Structure 1
Amino acid sequence: MKIKHLTFLASTMLLISCSGTISTAKKEYQITKTAALKSAWNFNPNEWRLQNDTLTGNGGPMHWGVIESKKKLPKNYEIDFKVNIVKESLFEVMLHIDQENYIRTYLYTIDQNIVIGRGAYNKNSDEYSKRGGPTLFKKPMQLENNKWYAVKIRVSNNQLYFTVNNQTFLECSIEKSNLNQQGKLGFITNGHAKISQLTIKTIP
């Protein structure tokens, strides 16, 4: 019984340790508790909150709501979640955030596309020129407000795969596209968005 207790305690310490990446001893990371969210992510509590296992973000056209992990993504990983763009037009996954630069993977209801692009974000400025960035790859997809979409992002050997609803698919070489090869994870909304069933998993 004592051995089981020590094993559980050791596993728990590994899960909350200050390792270099957001992968864990179980090779999988999920947000289920507010305490874990506060310890592992940088965010404004007026913009992002966790309730009933659903992460809710609020931003606006002039001030995007951003949440950013404190740890780096693993070299090879898979991110799965469901998203609902309740209000406005943009929901964006920020990949490989390094200082102000990152890879943009996003759903855009105005253009009716899913997109991979080169992104920049300055935390201290809401100037339009200091956020967003050029589109590199896009594919048409019918997108609606207040509807849930299943998103899967996979990075393996510097190849990025971005899929929505197992139907619409984009792929690119991170190295050939001159994109950040490592960094942190984040999410952006310019309105009101909900994320559920978020899982970040290390893959071989």
Structure 2
Amino acid sequence: MKIKFAVFLLLQLILISCSSTISTAKKEYTLNNSKELKSNWKIHSKEWVLKNDTLTGNGSLSPWGVLVSKKQLPNNYEIDLKVNMTNSSLFEIMLNLDKGKYIRTYLYQIDQNIVIGDGVYDKKDDSYGKRGGKTLFKKPMKLENNKWYAVKIRVTNNQLYFSVDNKTYLECSLEKSNLNQKGKLGFITNGEVKIIDLTIKSL
């Protein structure tokens, strides 16, 4: 019995290490240390750091600060985090990044909206039209610097739900909106942002 249990645990560890998705056997992923940041994420801007449980990104109008996971998101998932746009007007969560296309879910301080959009991302080109993309859905929300916002994103059965502070939310069908149904996760900022309590859960 003990041997069978040991074999089972070993198989679980192998599956976790070989998994192509950004989740674990416990169906939950959290970012805990800088070594994990370097091994599990592609830091294109080289300006993202993890210190004292806080992920800090620094970008500009050109180039943006970009951080992309090396592993795929699960088919059905939930992402929770708290974000503070300490010195930026844009914080964007890239969903289902695949072959240069992704779903834009972002807080935009200039227009005072939260947004779902259809995005493009060329990691070699910061020029206009090579990053970002069109707005599909938006909802007004007062957004300020130096204030923490609780963000929740849920994708189940190709339905996307995006909320901020459990008050303002948007939702859409990925299929009807012709949006990517699989891919990786990323973050974008055009200034300084801080992220805490990041959790990615497989549903």
Superposition TM-score, scaled by structure 2 size = 0.93
Q: Residues 70-81 of structure 1 correspond to what in structure 2 (within 5 A)?
A: 70-81=70-81
In the TM superposition, residue 54 of structure 1 has moved relative to its aligned partner by 1.0
Q: Which amino acid aligns with 2:85?
A: I
Separation of aligned partners in 2, 1:97 and 1:38: 19
Q: Does 2:196 align with 1:199?
A: no
Q: Find the counterpart in structure 1 of residue 97 from structure 2.
A: 97
Indicate the SS of the match to 2:38: helix
Indicate the SS of the match to 1:126: coil
Q: Does 2:46 align with 1:46?
A: yes
Q: Find the counterpart in structure 2 of residue 186 from structure 1.
A: 186
Q: Does 2:179 align with 1:174?
A: no
Q: Find the counterpart in structure 1 of residue 150 from structure 2.
A: 150
**Residue ranges of structure 2 left out of the alignment (5+ in a row):** none
Q: How many residues are paired up? A: 201
In the TM superposition, residue 35 of structure 1 has moved relative to its aligned partner by 1.4
**Residue ranges of structure 1 left out of the alignment (5+ in a row):** none
Q: Which amino acid aligns with 2:165?
A: N
Separation of aligned partners in 2, 1:190 and 1:18: 34
Separation of aligned partners in 1, 2:198 and 2:11: 24
Separation of aligned partners in 2, 1:36 and 1:10: 22
Superposition TM-score, scaled by structure 1 size = 0.93
Q: Find the counterpart in structure 2 of residue 55 from structure 1.
A: 55
Q: Find the counterpart in structure 2 of residue 134 from structure 1.
A: 134
Q: Which amino acid aligns with 2:101?
A: N
Q: Does 2:24 align with 1:24?
A: yes
Separation of aligned partners in 2, 1:113 and 1:85: 14
Instruction: Indicate the percent of aligned positions where both proteins have the same amino acid.
Output: 66
Residues 145-170 of structure 1 deviation map (CA, whole Å, 9 limit, x = unaligned): 11100000000000000000000010
After the TM superposition, list the runs of 4 or more consecutive aligned residues in structure 1 that deviate by more than 2 angstroms: 2-15
Q: Find the counterpart in structure 1 of residue 111 from structure 2.
A: 111
Residues 82-139 of structure 1 deviation map (CA, whole Å, 9 limit, x = unaligned): 0000112000000000021100000000000000000011111110221110000000
The answer (yes or no) to whether the contact 2:77–2:155 under 8 Å persists in 1 is yes
